[in-house]
Structure 1
Amino acid sequence: MPEGHTLHRLALDLDAAFAGDTTWSSSPQGRFVDGAARINGRLMEKAEAYGKQLFVAFAGVEEQVRIHLGLIGGLAVHESPPGTGGVGDLGARPVVGQVRWRLESARSWADLRGATVCTLLTPEEQAAYVARLGPDPLRDDADPDRAWRRINRSRVSIAALLMDQAVLAGVGNVYRAEILFRHQLDPFMEGRFLRRAEWDAVWGDLVGLMAYGVLHNRIDTVRPEHEPEAMGRPARKDDHGGEVYVYRRTHQPCLVCETPVRTEVVAGRNLFWCPRCQPRSRRRTPVRG
């Protein structure tokens, strides 16, 4: 599932392609026909992301489009070929696959496929939905204290809390594993045992790593001394496209201590960690029985 940096990057791409332009909307697949008709012919004002949610606003319409890509969704933004654009040139942009929402202007076009959600929300509905989400490290209005208050009193593991969008919006399975490794935290320690200084360090690191993800459109979490060139090792090859410490590296040697990376399902997703760099915390509740 795309992580928060991907949605923020898409918001920037949509703004660059459509903001300030009159747009045409359609639903070739047929699952967003009414919504597309409601915003068809409107000037696009802005796109913004909150966690793993993308919102798109149009002039003269109080509702906004809400998109959640889910596990397989994708939004592809294209520049129009020279000499095309507008309603009369729709044939120059063939529909490929199950396109749920097509957004077009005189200079650009975008196709949404495979998304879990594509719908219109009223301002009240959007505000209520966002209120249920935790702070997003990529937003200027984020309040890390909101997440800390939830974590500080929770008996749930840190690994599970980081994946809970009501605690922290935008963090997914890659950032979860990597941030815990970078701070040598026991993934199975309950949130209530995390120290405030540790949380502040985790939050600050997430802000920086995810901002890098937006800029470069990929996740890279290894420090300079552990990059391929510095270690004389091959570059990583993986769908997500970046250098990582533990994510999807089960049984491979840790880049720091060479201990085999371990995996266990936590909060419905595979958690990856190094048992030596992230040893069992003395603060963890003893196992009874």
Structure 2
Amino acid sequence: MPEGHTVHRLAAEHQRMFGGRVVGAVSPQGRFAEGAAAVDGQVLEGADAHGKHLLLRLADERSVHVHLGIYGKYVFGGLPAPEPVGVVRLRLTGEAHHADLRGPNVCELLEPGGVKLLRDRLGPDPLRADGDPGRAWRRISRTRTPIAVLLMDQSVVAGPGNIYRAEVLFRQGVDPRLPGRRLSAERWGAIWDDLAVLMAEGVRAGRIDTVRPEHTPEAMGRPPRVDGHGGEVYVYRRAGQPCLVCGGVVRTVEVASRNLFWCPVCQPPGRG
């Protein structure tokens, strides 16, 4: 599933192509036909993201809400747009561009009240100017739930997925199994700030890179990582390989139905 930086990039792309302009909308697949008819001919006033949720705000104050889920994806192109290929849930067209949405988990039209309900059930987003780490901390500091699970809970922090979760905990030297209430406030602040920096870089570069300059392939004289899920990382999908910092063995375990990766030397039990 795309992590939050990808959705913020999609919001920026929609803003660039369609922001402030009248859009055409159709649902070639038919599953969003009524919603597309309501969007067709309106001005797309703004595109925004909150965590993994894309919101396209229309002139009538309603918003198209998209959650890509595991299989959803966007394809952008110019005009004239080709005949739709595959199951295109929503096609937007503007003055010079088109955007095809395929296979999303959610594609719906929300009233303003529905947008508020959505935002209220999501945690703060490190990429948003209104992201409040204190709001997340109030949840984290009261629970026995492991911090690795809390960072994947979108009602606690919106945006991070499995890669950012593993990498930020490694970078901060935190035991991923540590109960939230045993994490210090100072360490939580460092995690939040690090997430904001890493995810902003992901928005800029379009991929996830988390290693510090001294641990890049060039600095260490090692081969670059080859993986379709991102760039240079410390522990994600590196189980059984040597840690880039201490040389110990990176481990993995299933936590809440997702594979967690960590270094037991750099992230010893109880540290946080």
Q: TM-score, normalised by structure 1?
A: 0.92
**Within 2, Cα distance between the matches of 1:67 and 1:204?**
27
Q: Secondary structure at the match of 1:55?
A: strand
Contact 1:14–1:77, Cα closer than 8 Å, also in 2: no
Quick check: 1:208 aligned with 2:197?
yes
**Within 1, Cα distance between the matches of 2:144 and 2:64?**
36
Contact 1:159–1:187, Cα closer than 8 Å, also in 2: yes
Quick check: 1:246 aligned with 2:257?
no
**Within 2, Cα distance between the matches of 1:241 and 1:271?**
16
**Within 2, Cα distance between the matches of 1:136 and 1:28?**
33
- Structure 1 runs of 4+ aligned residues shifted over 4 Å read none
**Within 2, Cα distance between the matches of 1:137 and 1:77?**
26
**Within 2, Cα distance between the matches of 1:39 and 1:270?**
40
Q: CA deviation at 1:125?
A: 1.1
**Within 2, Cα distance between the matches of 1:24 and 1:250?**
47
- Name 1:31's counterpart in structure 2: 31
Residues 258, 37 of structure 1: alpha-carbon distance in 2 compared, 3 angstrom cutoff: same
**Within 2, Cα distance between the matches of 1:279 and 1:204?**
22
Deviations 1:210-234 (A, max 9, x none): 0001011110000000000000111
- Name 2:46's counterpart in structure 1: 46
Identity %: 57
- Name 2:61's counterpart in structure 1: 62
Contact 1:180–1:187, Cα closer than 8 Å, also in 2: yes
Deviations 1:59-110 (A, max 9, x none): 1x23210000001111122233xxx4xxxxxxx5221111000000120000
- Name 1:77's counterpart in structure 2: 76
**Within 2, Cα distance between the matches of 1:127 and 1:282?**
37
Unmatched runs of 5 consecutive residues or more in structure 1: 85-91, 284-289
Contact 1:26–1:40, Cα closer than 8 Å, also in 2: yes
**Within 2, Cα distance between the matches of 1:239 and 1:98?**
24
Contact 1:163–1:267, Cα closer than 8 Å, also in 2: no
- Name 1:124's counterpart in structure 2: 113
Q: Secondary structure at the match of 2:143?
A: coil
Q: 1:178 aligns with which of 158, 167, 174?
A: 167
- Name 1:13's counterpart in structure 2: 13
Contact 1:23–1:103, Cα closer than 8 Å, also in 2: yes
Contact 1:17–1:79, Cα closer than 8 Å, also in 2: no
Quick check: 1:197 aligned with 2:186?
yes
**Within 2, Cα distance between the matches of 1:222 and 1:187?**
18
**Within 1, Cα distance between the matches of 2:76 and 2:18?**
10
Matching of residues 94-243 of structure 1 within 5 Å: 94-243=83-232
Q: Secondary structure at the match of 2:108?
A: strand
Number of aligned positions between the proteins:
272
Q: Which amino acid aligns with 1:161?
A: L
Q: Secondary structure at the match of 1:103?
A: strand
**Within 2, Cα distance between the matches of 1:272 and 1:121?**
37
**Within 1, Cα distance between the matches of 2:256 and 2:192?**
20
- Name 1:286's counterpart in structure 2: none
- Name 1:272's counterpart in structure 2: 261
Q: CA deviation at 1:241?
A: 2.6
Contact 1:24–1:104, Cα closer than 8 Å, also in 2: yes
Contact 2:173–2:271, Cα closer than 8 Å, also in 1: no
- Name 1:87's counterpart in structure 2: none
| RMSD across aligned positions (CA) | 1.1
